[in-house]
Structure 1
């Protein structure tokens, strides 16, 4: 229990257990829950999407109108409330924005009014706080979807006594997605006109992530190494100068891992469980993976991968490396969906090497767990990876991650050769197919020639933990630093 609890408003576009498309949702659940366990009063604000789970459990607590400029109609919305493992979740119900089949896009086409939709989220989140008499000490924003909120605190609400003590922070989960929209979409936020010179992306457009980075009191990247990369032109996705302006207020806090769902000793999705002292269940998982993937039940190392099929995940590096790697006595299983072109290329390779490589064009949670448990190595050749979770899962499951040393991957995986005493996996640097292939061959050589050491590294990996309890203290310090300006 903390000495002086804080009131924390956590605003996000998705929360695991309610609605999810990516890693942001995992953090938006785990961090508030862990902050609440420390005694803080945490409330989550989330859109009341059509696809939201547990919709029928939500209770209507208020109906309100969000004020807009005099020449426009105010926006009607309703506030619902839901309990998420003891944390209060406020759901903003505005059918014109959120009653849609998906969160952000359909058929790989983003909704054309996403700027307007999430400008509403930022403005309505603060408006709802007033209506519910919840004056937060900290408004914790997440990615571009909430980027307008810090600007609104410093403009619309600058002289509002209700928010006099409120300070904002923004977490950067992936700076590649910045939320750039036509200026006309922000008609409900006339204050933006006073800031256009600073937040313009291009003539007539607004960059919402840039809004958040420029006007939040503190900025958090989801791993220490990613925070460093955001200060470089190579790693900042065109926003290096903006992050450099705010370098003194930028920190990197590594995401924790939810071992409640990802623990091979208790994982109900596995055909057999196991732990660091008894690995027999892992062999059962490997045999099951081979059977379900349609691969021969032979004693070969399996390289697994579960990811979205995008260039960010390095799939385009892996494809040219696969043909050569599959000349060795190995098996490879990839589960993922996304870019149709990448999927077609993987499918073509799978047809040529049906006895060694299986590609499953889907996302399936049970299969994801089975790959983590049944494989010997897990591939993450990402071009960039702000934090990453699969490498943490892989470590826990004794499946050595093979990663490019970027972002959170560099913070969490210790290379076999670089630090033998602490090794937990394999790392490579250059984003090329040949460098990736070299790392894959290096891992295969060690697997075949040093089985006893492989077992030791596997045990070290399984004993490695990245707990939210360790990260929460760093978030609390960031909040205190933000509040120190009062």
Structure 2
């Protein structure tokens, strides 16, 4: 099998979120199963120079978008055992950040055309092109429309993965029609039209051969008006082609026995894990207390992640004997809420605004509990990482959180965490208090941690499902 992954970010080259982790790790798991994967990315200015040393020039072409004619270079590199094909255009991609510009539509329409042109020129066509999120949604569309005349490309099958349906790449209809140079028929209700505008996400949903998303529960949820982001009708139409495949994590990287960021390496020993808690308490200015339950949060500080619930419940939470360690940034109102709490509860709340990879790992390792009260969560990686670090998650029952965290049942001794259903501060607070009660029961707590350690959180099972999907398409 020969597969191209097309994405807007991937570790180790560039990362803004969990998408990069998936696109960086899944190809390695597929390679272990004999699948030949090339990851296609924009050549951003943020890619460290060390990865570009020894890059192989794969030629160039020109991309036409309406009246625009833009250079497109192709470079091949290898990083972390994965082959990357980089689309080079400094006008679009040599900027200070990956996203957030006024010409976002033009940048990623160009990227879609560049991928199609690269396919038309490659010596060995892939069996499957696997596209990820809205930035690549136009690739299946272009292969089925503008490039349908190419006899070689007709046999290339496409998979489109929804990592987060909330981000859709919606632009004015006239702008996308100009950039794509397509007729009104393709911008209608059965095409890219989206409530008077046009959607790149919808392009992927309508034109890819198969659709996937990052958990079975999220695959069901997004077919409902509550979670469907106004695309639930399209997703119901394509329900037979939609499958949920749970994400994994890179267990070699996220290994508390080998993680260089930790004070004390450990595997099963809760005593050694507790030494990391003492070190983090000292690092963050928390009261150094081995017995105080430490609740960790590594997250974007936004409504989706349930920070309104945390804010509402915070006074009652701090009435319990616990400490809170938070890493993240986002909505100014939630940042303000946490800044105020630091002053109100000195020594009991510590917050690092921004992102720090080493500190994130130390929070995963040091915390006794990990809080994720998300209003929706396509998959979530933090709960998987916390379980890998023997930290017990508290989650809301939605999306991938529901698929990966089983509520502890004290009568049967089963379950690897704690969960609640309604998105209310009351239900979250009740569940946190329940978890704290079991934390005080040493025997029960060891059982919960041990249950979490039994599962394999790597990519092998997911890679097998993707390989089967690819082979079905390629038949």
TM range (shorter): over 0.9
- Alignment pair present for 1:303 and 2:300: no
For 1:130, the equivalent position in structure 2 comes to 120
Q: Judge conservation of contact 1:136–1:163 (CA < 8 Å) in 2.
A: no
User: Unpaired runs of 5+ in structure 1?
Assistant: 1-5, 106-110
For residues 386-427 of structure 1, give each alpha carbon's deviation from its aligned partner in whole angstroms, at most 9, with x where no partner exists.
Answer: 111110111111110000011111010110138843310000
For residues 283-307 of structure 1, give each alpha carbon's deviation from its aligned partner in whole angstroms, at most 9, with x where no partner exists.
Answer: 1101011111211112211111011
For 1:200, the equivalent position in structure 2 comes to 193
Cα distance in 2, alignment partners of residues 172 and 454 from structure 1: 36
For residues 32-86 of structure 1, give each alpha carbon's deviation from its aligned partner in whole angstroms, at most 9, with x where no partner exists.
Answer: 12222222221111000011123542333312112445xx242211111111233
Q: Judge conservation of contact 2:420–2:431 (CA < 8 Å) in 1.
A: yes
For 2:32, the equivalent position in structure 1 comes to 37
User: Residue 66 of structure 1 is aligned with which of 63, 66, 70?
Assistant: 63
Structure 1 residue 355: Cα displacement: 2.8
For 1:402, the equivalent position in structure 2 comes to 394
Matched residue SS, 1:188: helix
After superposing the two structures, state which structure 1 stretch, 159-168 or 194-203, moved more.
194-203
Structure 1 residue 434: Cα displacement: 1.3
Q: Indicate how the Cα distance of structure 1 residues 445 and 92 shifts in structure 2: closer, same or farther if over 3 A, else same.
A: same
Q: Judge conservation of contact 1:138–1:479 (CA < 8 Å) in 2.
A: yes
Matched residue SS, 2:119: helix
Structure 1 residue 263: Cα displacement: 1.1
Cα distance in 2, alignment partners of residues 184 and 281 from structure 1: 60
For 1:79, the equivalent position in structure 2 comes to 74
Matched residue SS, 1:360: strand
Matched residue SS, 1:65: strand
User: Residue 422 of structure 1 is aligned with which of 411, 414, 417?
Assistant: 414
User: Residue 43 of structure 2 is aligned with which of 39, 48, 54?
Assistant: 48
Cα distance in 2, alignment partners of residues 52 and 267 from structure 1: 24
User: Unpaired runs of 5+ in structure 2?
Assistant: none
Q: Judge conservation of contact 2:213–2:378 (CA < 8 Å) in 1.
A: yes
- Alignment pair present for 1:341 and 2:338: no
Ranges of 4+ aligned residues in structure 1 off by more than 4 Å: none
Structure 1 residue 190: Cα displacement: 1.4
For 2:168, the equivalent position in structure 1 comes to 178
- Alignment pair present for 1:15 and 2:10: yes
For 2:98, the equivalent position in structure 1 comes to 103
Q: Judge conservation of contact 2:388–2:457 (CA < 8 Å) in 1.
A: no
- Size of the aligned set, in residue pairs, is 469
Structure 1 residue 150: Cα displacement: 0.8
Cα distance in 2, alignment partners of residues 12 and 80 from structure 1: 16
Matched residue SS, 1:251: strand
1:347-358 matches, within 5 Å, as: 347-358=339-350
Normalising to structure 1: TM-score of the pair? 0.93
For residues 201-234 of structure 1, give each alpha carbon's deviation from its aligned partner in whole angstroms, at most 9, with x where no partner exists.
Answer: 122x211101100111000011111111111111
For 2:135, the equivalent position in structure 1 comes to 145
Matched residue SS, 2:347: coil
Q: Judge conservation of contact 1:233–1:240 (CA < 8 Å) in 2.
A: yes
Cα distance in 1, alignment partners of residues 419 and 474 from structure 2: 39
